[in-house]
Structures are given as structure tokens and as C-alpha cells.
Amino acid sequence: MTGLDDGLVVLTGAGISRESGLATFRDPGGVWSQVRLEDVATPEAFARDPGRVHAFYNARRRQLADPAIAPNAAHRALAELERVWRGPFLLVTQNVDDLHERAGSVALLHMHGRLRVSRCIHCGTTHGADTDLSVRTACPGCGRTGGMRPDVVWFGEMPREMERIEAALDRCRLFVAIGTSGSVYPAAGFAAQVRGRARTVELNLEPSGGRFDEGRYGPATGVVPEWVESLTRR
């Protein structure tokens, strides 16, 4: 039995933001059914056709700025869980949206980067990005153009913060994966990595096919607050 003093790692994926109005990647009608990831989400795509890559991320960044897009009950439940949890707590998200921070989560790592941050490939500095990027955007750090890219992790690139994530996985006794299909490594391997040492839970619209000790299935705005409630009331 795990309790509020144990180490907890929460992993989230696109499914948690679905009911906020953001598309997932691999569901029917998802992002990767509209556009080939090889065309927009690899370093090669950016080198080949930066305009196309910028257009893809500019559209997603604009959507995120739409006042209709806001954190939902699942994001808020995780922020509340962090507030009442007494043991080590880490929320790891694969999402590049900022809905977890807007809901109030603090111990949060964006392992696939953030949409609202840009990075200069010339000087390496990162900057807030609330407007469109293009090959003409000058780096606020070095002033050069042609090198500004969204600070997201593309296929073939290293996920962020892996040392801190591994440390949290090593000491956790409870691991929960929320709204992720388990298709992309290393995140897809986290549950197997902690199995035997930690209780593993999946909260998803439907079973992802991964091995978990417990699964609760349905829309995130229902199952996540219910699961949080079940942890905090006992």
C-alpha cells in the first residue's frame, strides 16, 4: 500500500489536454493523421523546409493562446495532488502545451520541451515565444536570423531533464501514466522500469496495452479527479 509520504511520479501525455480542446497525436483524427511527422517534427525536416515546420508550430502556438483553451479538471486535480502530497512528487509531461503550469503545477518537467519557448540554433539561448516564428525572426540573444526554432524535442533528439526524471523514477513507489499511448520512448518505458519497486497505474481513455498494476479508463476529466480523490481521502 502506498501513502502520501511515498515518492510519486506522474507522467502525462496528450490525452490529458484533449478535453481542453487540443488534439492528441495517434487517435483517429489526431495530429499525425493530418500531417506526416517526418515533415514537421525532425531536425531534417527543419533543415529541409523550415517554413513548413514553423507554420506547423505557429498554428499550434496560436491555438494555445486562444482564450477558449484552458486547463481542465484533470490538470487541476494534479495540481491539487501536488499541494497535498507529502513525499517526493514529480510531474513529467510529454506535452509541449502549458496547461499544467496554468493549472498550478510547480514540480513539473517538460521532457519534450515547450511550445511557448524558442531556441536559437546559433547561440543556444532560449526565449519566450508568444508570437509566430519564421526564418526572418532575429534571435533576441545574438541578433542572427534563420536560427530560431521552437524549443520542442523532435524525433531523433534527446528528451529533456532525463537525469532528474531517472532520479525520481528510482525513488518512487507510485507511478501513474495519464493520457499517453506509450508509443514514444523513453517515456513509454518508465512503467516497466519501476515495475516491482513501485505500484503502476494507468489512467487513459482506453487501455494502452502496457502492463500496469491498476487501470482506470474513461475521459481524463473524470478518471483523474476520481483517482486523486481516492488517494487523498484514505
SS3 175: strand
**Residues binding ligand APR: number (CB under 6 A):** 23
SS3 content of the chain, % helix, strand, coil (to 5): 35, 20, 45
Judged by CB under 6 A, the residue of 2, 30, 127, 145 near ligand APR is 30
State in angstroms the smallest separation of the CB of 32 from ligand APR.
Answer: 6
The pairing of strands 148-152 and 214-217 is unpaired
Among 7, 8, 10, 15, binds ligand APR (CB under 6 A): 15
Report, in Å, the least distance between residue 168 CB and ligand APR.
18
Exactly one of 7, 71, 159, 179 binds ligand APR (CB under 6 A); that residue is 179
Residue 13 touching ligand APR (CB under 6 A): yes
**Nearest one of 75, 74, 151, 167 to 112, comparing CA atoms:** 151
Q: Is 112 a catalytic residue?
A: yes
Of 27 and 80, CB closest to ligand APR: 27
Cell numbers for 124, please give them.
Answer: 543556444
**Is residue 19 at the binding interface for ligand APR, with CB under 6 A as the rule?**
yes
What is the grid cell recorded at 35? 500531417
Q: What is the DSSP string of 17-42?
A: HHTTT---SSSTT-HHHHS-HHHHSS
* Catalytic one of 100, 112, 122, 127: 112
Task: Tell the smallest beta-carbon distance from residue 12 to ligand APR (Å).
Answer: 8
Helix H, strand E, coil C: the string for 148-173 is EEEEECCCCCCCCCHHHHHHHHHHCC
Interface residue with ligand APR among 150, 159, 219, 225 (CB under 6 A) is 219
Region 53-112 residues binding ligand APR, contact defined as CB under 6 A: 94, 112
Among 8, 10, 18, 108, binds ligand APR (CB under 6 A): 18
Angstrom distances, CA of residue 26 to CA of 14, 18, 35, 132, 169: 9, 12, 11, 26, 26
C-alpha to C-alpha distances, 9 to 111, 146, 167, 224, nearest whole angstrom: 13, 38, 10, 14
Least Cβ distance, residue 85 to ligand APR (angstroms): 21
List binders of ligand APR among 185-214 (CB under 6 A): 204-206, 208
- Whether 105 contacts 74, CB under 8 Å: no
Q: How far is CA 69 from the centre of its chain?
A: 16
Shortest distance, position 141 Cβ to ligand APR, whole Å: 26
Is 118 a binding residue for ligand APR by CB under 6 A? The answer is no
Residues recognised as catalytic: 112
Binding positions for ligand APR, rule: CB under 6 A: 13-15, 18-19, 24-27, 30, 94, 112, 179-181, 183-184, 204-206, 208, 219-220
